[in-house]
């Protein structure tokens, strides 16, 4: 028998990504797990951010961001970027990270140390309650040469990706 609970959304794993926003001269990063694919043709993703976050205003004003995929070795970066505000610290400087241009975007930096970055241009913004959701076109993908497969797509390194579930970070392991 099942019991009925109050509605909540934290019962499934969500990818931990580092959202690059702002500009090369004033870059910012927000760690986010409310990120996902919304369309394959054209390629589109979404990210949800609270209006009170410093990054919200940077994405809202510039209408672009990068989605940078960290690896397990980057977990301390993810945790730091998820607990510090760009209003108070320059996360790139504090963590020794390098902001790179992410063509064709005009301002949002990608993170040199992440193996994969999606350049995203905001198409829609919806205020849904506690969060605003940005729905964005993926206008280019940037990856380290070492992770490019013969199919010309990046190797996603599933066992090295980080997901967030129930207040903890996890990795993905194959079941077959």
Q: Residue 97: its pLDDT value, please?
A: 98
The H or E element containing residue 164 is: strand 162-165
**Is 69 within 8 Å of 16 (Cβ atoms)?**
no
Q: Which domains does the chain have, with CATH numbers?
A: 15-171 (2.30.110.10)
| pLDDT more than 70, % of the chain | 97
pLDDT-derived band at 150, boundaries 50, 70, 90: low
- Mean pLDDT of all residues in the chain? 93
Angle CA 44–169–39, to nearest 5: 10
Q: Residue 127: its pLDDT value, please?
A: 97
> Tell me: the pLDDT tens digits for 64-82?
999 999 999 999 999 999 9
> Tell me: the pLDDT tens digits for 2-17?
999 888 777 788 999 9
pLDDT-derived band at 157, boundaries 50, 70, 90: confident
Q: Is pLDDT at 144 greater than 90 in this prediction?
A: no
Whole-number Å distance between alpha carbons of 21 and 109: 6
Whole-number Å distance between alpha carbons of 172 and 15: 10
pTM score, whole prediction: 0.93
Q: Residue 7: its pLDDT value, please?
A: 85
Q: Residue 51: its pLDDT value, please?
A: 97
């Amino acid at each position: 028998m099942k019991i009925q609970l109050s509605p909540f959304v934290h019962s499934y794993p969500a990818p931990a990504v580092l959202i690059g926003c702002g500009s090369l001269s004033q870059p910012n990063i927000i760690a986010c797990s409310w990120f996902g694919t919304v369309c394959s043709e054209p390629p589109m993703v979404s990210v949800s951010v609270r209006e009170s976050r410093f990054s919200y205003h940077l994405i809202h004003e510039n209408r672009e961001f990068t989605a940078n995929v960290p690896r397990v070795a980057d977990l301390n970066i993810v945790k730091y970027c998820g607990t510090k505000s760009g209003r108070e610290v320059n996360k790139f400087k504090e963590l020794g990270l390098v902001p790179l241009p992410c063509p064709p975007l005009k301002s949002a930096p990608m993170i040199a140390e992440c193996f994969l970055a999606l350049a995203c241009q905001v198409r829609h913004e919806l205020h849904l309650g506690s969060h605003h959701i940005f729905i964005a076109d993926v206008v280019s993908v940037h990856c380290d040469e070492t992770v490019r497969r013969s199919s010309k797509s990046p190797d996603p390194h599933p066992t090295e990706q980080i997901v967030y579930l129930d207040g903890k970070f996890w990795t993905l392991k194959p079941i077959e």
